[in-house]
Chains A and B, each alone.
Chain A
Amino acid sequence: MTLATARGEKYAADFEALTESCPVTDWMLELRQSGWDHFDSIGFPTARRGNELWKYTNLTALDQGKFGFQLDGPGDVAPDLLRQRAPWSDDWSTLVFIDGRYSASLSQVSSGDGVKVQNLSDAADSELLRTHLGTHAAVDENAFSALNTAFLMDGGFVQIPENRDDTSPIHLLFVTTPGGSRAIYPRTLVVSGINSRSTVIESYISLGGEGGFTAPVAEYVLNSGAGIDHYRVLVENEESFHIGTTRVYQLDNSTFTSTSFALGPKIGRNDVHVLLDAPGAECTLNGLYLTTGDQHMDNHISTTHAKPHGTSHQFYKGVLSGNSRAVFSGRVLVEKDAQKTQAFQKDLNLVLSHGAEIDTKPSLEIYADDVQCAHGATAGHTDPEALFYMQARGIDEVTAQAMLMRGFASEIVDMISVDGLQDYVHGVVEEAIPRLQAAAD
């Protein structure tokens, strides 16, 4: 199928305009072209029968030609507004992208200890970039990885040197401003050296109420013994579309610990795949999603154990209210060689209203025999006995409900070990609780 339809033409025209007006080095141009060719041949996925990967998520809205790529930029944003609306600390190294374009004036990068944090298009001659970019999130991974690659321009490129032992956060902040239906394609590549430690935050924030389309792709490479504490914060407005792809590649004894928080988009998808490609690697994927109104949040979380002695955890929690819908499709694949694997998978949900729907599918696919794998899933309202207990002690129902929801969410939020970030997410959850309660029944 080619996109030679009225609907697909918008993306094709955007791609042509980009190719003409934004020259990049040859290898990047080739990469872009391969991304486009691939997208052009497969198009957007459809939630048709039998399409397991998109069984629960319908993306027809993306195919209407509503969203366009913005060549110029970045636009202006007041620094104070950023500090107010986005997670921020002056102690962090922060790269700011406004509507997909790098803003040097808003970014602040602390130099020292050998860490390189730079805009991707400024590092076109980096051999490391060339080696890894598009390798772990390949163009044939999915339509959005292909589309993102086709529009490759700005993004975060982080290199962590060997043996670095400092966890001061590196923050990649992708902001969408009001005005217009933009399609933006943020890109992130983080390569961490042997036995290094680092903390990386990716955040996606919208400043206006208008809907845009964000299709980020992030690639993380962990060399032997490397450790990354990763945070992904998605706080976009209720009209936006967000289809994110994260690919993590881990070598021996590396540790990837990720906490994801999602609030907002009209349709959101968080597609994460971790490949444990050497013995002794460990990964933890935690997440919290809050949905209300007509929102739709799809968590597509998968871990592949390719080698022995790996450990993985998937732990997601959701609170659903209004007419919203959330999906958790977790997958753990243990390949034949991956003996002594331990894998755990859990998805717990609070469903607060009759209009809400949770579809959870924690699946295990196991080809090795000496393994310990377990998974669990639950769905239900807040515990009536816990409510009664609190009401019997003079706490009114609304407050008691809020306390239970807060407690439920805290289990994930408390895992955030960056102070400024934890406060930010706590604040967002606090703000969201009354809205979730108002739409509950």
Chain B
Amino acid sequence: MVTPNSISRESDLSGGEYKWGFVTEVEQDFAPKGLSEDIVRLISAKKDEPEWLLEWRLKAYHHWVKMVEEQGEPEWAKIRYPQIDYNDIYYYAAPKSSAEAPKSLADVDPEMLATFDKLGIPLQEREKLAGVAIDAVFDSVSVATTYTEQLEKLGIIFCSFSEAVKNHPDLIKKYLGSVVPYSDNFFATLNSAVFSDGSFAYIPPGVRCPIELMTYFSMNAEGTGQFERTLIVADKGAYVSYLEGCTAPFRKTSQLHAAVVELVTLDDAEIKYSTIQNWFPGSKEGEGGVYNFVTKRGICRGVNSKISWTQVETGSAITWKYPSVILQGDNSTGEFYSVALANNHQQADTGTKMIHIGKNTKSTIVAKGISAGQGENTYRGQVKIMPSAENAVNHTQCDSLLVGDQCGAHTVPYIEVRNPSARLEHEASTSKVSDDQLFYLRSRGISEEEAHHMIITGWSREVIKELPFEFAMEAGQLLKVSLEGAVG
């Protein structure tokens, strides 16, 4: 998202360190550190949740306790990090003013508004300029939602998850956990027990959402785990493009982020989900940074439906993320476009899963990984063709680029085919930036760093072009900034 404000943010960048984090002194309303059944009850009570949701949270909590005892965190990913002490995390933090929810922007804590200002979120005059509705998640409690009225006229629901629980309980009850069940995996289960807030969007039948929906996740309080929950449902024939942009304040201690995103498309519906993730990657020496352990999954439940994930991942100390699509409806389509960058001591283990169940289902995967500094970048993806998936087609392409000789680039595809009519192609390559291309640009007076940047931008273009225009511009800048200091 580019606003006059965000452009100015980008122009004064220097030094190659994380620049977009700001620490705002806002008083926090904390629940005590640590996780227990009482904390889960407290979170639920604070949010005034109905009984069924509390029970769901508790089921998840008990399952998670069992998982901790039996198997612990998943170990298969190619990432290393110090043991996480789950009892040293705040599971609930709300801005203190939450007792009286702000009714308009005028009611919002000025200091918080100043934070949004720094983040470049257009809440006031800038909202029209940016042309997006933003559900800004500020440390777990949604502060303001814009454009709701305009959307309401079309019957589109776009609000914070907590509001949706209050106002649209039937929809939440129907779809929550229908794509990522509470028992899905370690981090998703933890999220199901303690999720704080998030976004909910519902697009009614036949409606094409006229604007790009957008949420900002930010992490602010030191030592606060963030457990977002996003649910997007596109009813029959609906279309929505959803943007998720991320930026976190500069923090010293590592922060755990375990979000869950669920997408559901019914017949002929389409969801396009784009992410730019630029959380604090840790210092150049590998200290701190965000642990991003996210479960994102969509299900094409109806015929002819489509889900498309596009991501540009440049931040976080560790990224563990596999946006997936279950292609259940006949003729449904899944897409995954990704650029993941690991510089300094960053580790990224990311990819996708495409599960083909319906007939004539189609999936496309384009994954680009850039490793620089001492970064470790792994593409891990699964394409599964079930026996029922007649004439399924998949094409996968994953390319890795190595910048410097201290980094690692890995490709681990899992291809499982159980239907003879399927057609699958997977190709991947790994190389460094070509000397010939560099020489060509250098001989035309372009500096080495600029030349690298041009080549990398061009190489990532296939993915970047899938992003909505404003995001695409920011993504190019992000890659450039994130690679500063990696060349020469």
Contact = CB atoms under 8 A, between A and B. Distances in A.
A81 B424 CA distance: 43
Interface stretch (A243-251, A258-266, A375-383): A375-383
A441 interface: yes
Interface in B430-468: 430-432
Nearest to A336: B405
A351 B415 CA distance: 13
Interface string B409-426: 111111111111111111
A358 B428 contact: no
A370 B402 CA distance: 8
A356 interface: yes
A375 B411 contact: yes
A372 interface: yes
A367 interface: yes
B427 A358 contact: no
Contact of A373 (B74, B75, B418, B429): B429
A333 to B, nearest CB: 9
A435 interface: no
A12 to B, nearest CB: 30
B214 interface: no
Given A336-B405, A363-B410, A373 B431 contact: yes
B387 interface: yes
A354 B415 contact: no
A381 B412 CA distance: 24
Which bracket fits the contact residues of A? 35 or more
Contacts of B209: none
Summarize B's interface: helix, strand, loop or mixed. strand
B427 A353 contact: no
A362 B426 contact: yes
B426 A378 contact: yes
Given A362-B413, A363-B413, A368-B405, A377 B418 contact: no
A369 interface: yes
Contacts of A356: 418, 420
Contact of A353 (B405, B409, B420): B420
Contacts of B413: 361-363, 377
Contacts of A362: 413, 426, 428
B416 A358 contact: yes
A346 to B, nearest CB: 9
Contacts of A368: 402, 405
Given A364-B410, A366-B408, A371 B430 contact: yes
A365 interface: yes
Contact of A50 (B76, B420, B421, B424): B76
Contact of B422 (A351, A363, A370, A373): A351
B177 interface: no
Interface residues of B, number: 38
B432 A370 contact: yes
B223 interface: no
A363 B412 contact: yes
B407 interface: yes
Contacts of A401: none
B363 interface: no
A326 to B, nearest CB: 10
B404 A380 contact: no
A308 B333 CA distance: 43
B427 A374 contact: yes
Nearest to A343: B430
Given A52-B76, A362-B426, A366-B430, A352 B410 contact: no
A361 B396 CA distance: 13
A377 B426 CA distance: 5
A373 B431 CA distance: 7
Contacts of A377: 413, 415, 424-426
A286 interface: no
A362 B406 CA distance: 23
Contacts of A372: 429-431
Contacts of B403: 369
A354 B421 CA distance: 8
B420 A351 contact: yes
Contacts of A381: 420-421
B360 interface: no
Nearest to B423: A380
A55 to B, nearest CB: 9
A162 interface: no
B400 interface: yes
Nearest to A383: B423
Nearest to A365: B410
Interface string A52-68: 10000000000000000
B431 A354 contact: no
Interface string B72-100: 00111000000000000000000000000
B432 A379 contact: no
Nearest to B415: A360
A48 to B, nearest CB: 10
A370 B411 contact: no
Contact of B405 (A351, A369, A373): A369
A371 B431 contact: yes
Interface in A373-416: 373-381
Given A353-B420, A356-B418, 13 more contacts: A50-B74, A354-B387, A358-B415, A360-B415, A361-B414, A363-B410, A363-B413, A364-B410, A364-B412, A368-B405, A372-B429, A374-B428, A440-B420
24 contacts: A50-B74, A50-B76, A336-B405, A359-B415, A359-B416, A359-B417, A361-B414, A363-B411, A364-B410, A369-B405, A369-B432, A370-B432, A372-B429, A374-B428, A374-B430, A375-B429, A376-B428, A377-B425, A379-B385, A379-B415, A379-B422, A379-B423, A381-B420, A440-B420
Interface pairs A-B: 8 shortest CB-CB: A369-B402, A363-B412, A373-B430, A379-B417, A374-B429, A377-B426, A380-B423, A364-B411
